Amino acid sequence: MKFSIVLSTQPTTFSALAYQGKLIENVSRIKTLGFDGIELAVRDPALIDVSSLTSLLKEHRLPVSAIGTGQAYVEERLSFIDPSKGFREKAIGRIKTQARFAALFDAIVIIGLVRGKRESDLDPETADRWLVHGLRACASENPGVRFAIEPINRYETNLVNTARSGIELLEKVDKKNVGLLLDTFHMNIEEPSMTESIKLVGDLLFHFHVADSNRWYPGAGHIDFRSVFETLEEIGYTGYVSAEMLPLPDPDVAARKTIEYLQRF
Ligand code: LER
Ligand code: MN
C-alpha cells in the first residue's frame, strides 16, 4: 500500500488539509514522516512556479499521487454545472490546465467540488448533461491522464453522493481514463457499507482518501479501517491511500498519527 498526504500549494479556506503553503518546509516534513507520495491541492497551476515545485519534489524523491482541484469551486465558484455557459467553459478550461499539469507527474486529476451543486431551478437532466459534457471534454483532450470523480457527502453537494451514483455517471461518461475516488469520511455518511461500496467500485477505483468519521486523522474516530484495508487488498487496489483530514490537534501530530496508524495495515 502506498501512502500520500494532501498539501495545498497555496493557503485556502478548505479546512480538511494537514498542510498549506510553505512548500519547502512542508514537503521536507512529509518526506521525513515517511509518506511515499504527496497529493497536491491546486487552485490554478498558473499560480504556481512549476519548475521550482518539480525540482523540490524531485530532490525529496516524492511522487505526486493526485491533484485536488476543488479550490476552483471553493475560492472561485467555477463549476461544470454553472448556469452561465462562460463559467462552465472556464471550469472545463481549468480542469484541462490541471490535466496538463498532472501529466508532468503522472498524477490523477480529482473531480470533487468542481462538478458543482445543483440549484433548485436547474433540472437534473440538464445538470447531468453539462456534467457529462465537461468530463468527456477533459478526458478526451487528455487521454493519457486519469480523472477520478469523488462521491461527496450530501452536506457539501447534491450531485454524486454515493459510489453507486458515481458508477452511473461513469457509464454515461464512458471514457476509460475516468474512474472514481472514494473517501472514507464521505462514505461513512453516505454508504450503507463501506466494504460493499469498495467492492462495487472494484477496478474503477483510481484513488482513495482517508480521514476518520470526525475528519480527524485515521484512528481518531470510529471507522473500522482494518476492514477497509482488507477490502482494498481484496479488490487488488494498487493506487495511493491519501490522507485528507483536519489539521488537528495540529498539522504535524495529525500527519504523524496518520502514518503511524496506516503503516499497521
Ligand atoms: C475533497 O477531496 C473532498 O473530500 C471534499 O470534502 C471537498 O470538499
Ligand atoms: Mn476527499
Can you tell me which atom of ligand 1 is nearest the CA of 209?
Answer: 2
| 2-8 vs 240-243, strand pairing mode | parallel
Q: How far apart are CA 164 and CA 150, in angstroms?
A: 11
pLDDT tens-digit map of 8-64: 999 888 888 889 999 999 999 999 999 999 999 999 999 999 999 999 999 999 999
What does the block give as the cell for 162?
454515493
Can you tell me which atom of ligand 1 is nearest the CA of 70?
Answer: 7
pLDDT tens-digit map of 184-216: 999 999 999 999 999 999 999 999 999 999 999
What range defines the domain where residue 84 resides? 2-262
Q: Is the CB of 39 under 6 A from ligand 1?
A: no
Can you name the residues that pair with 179 across neighbouring β-strands?
A: 148
Centre of ligand 2 from the C-alpha of residue 217, in Å: 13
Residue ID of nearest Cα to ligand 1 atom 1: 112
Average pLDDT (162-175) is 98
Q: Is the CB of 191 under 6 A from ligand 1?
A: no
Specify whether the CB–CB gap between 154 and 190 falls below 8 A: yes
Q: Is the CB of 244 under 6 A from ligand 1?
A: yes
Q: Which residues surround ligand 2, an ion (CB under 5 A)?
A: 183, 209, 244
Q: What is the CATH number of the domain that holds 151?
A: 3.20.20.150
Catalytic residues: 150, 244
Q: Is the CB of 239 under 6 A from ligand 1?
A: no
pLDDT tens-digit map of 68-87: 999 999 999 999 999 999 99
Number of domains in the chain: 1
How far, CA to CA in Å, does 76 sit from each of 44, 71, 89, 90, 237?
10, 7, 14, 10, 34
| 19-20 vs 147-149, strand pairing mode | unpaired
Can you name the residues that pair with 250 across neighbouring β-strands?
A: none
- The pTM score is 0.97
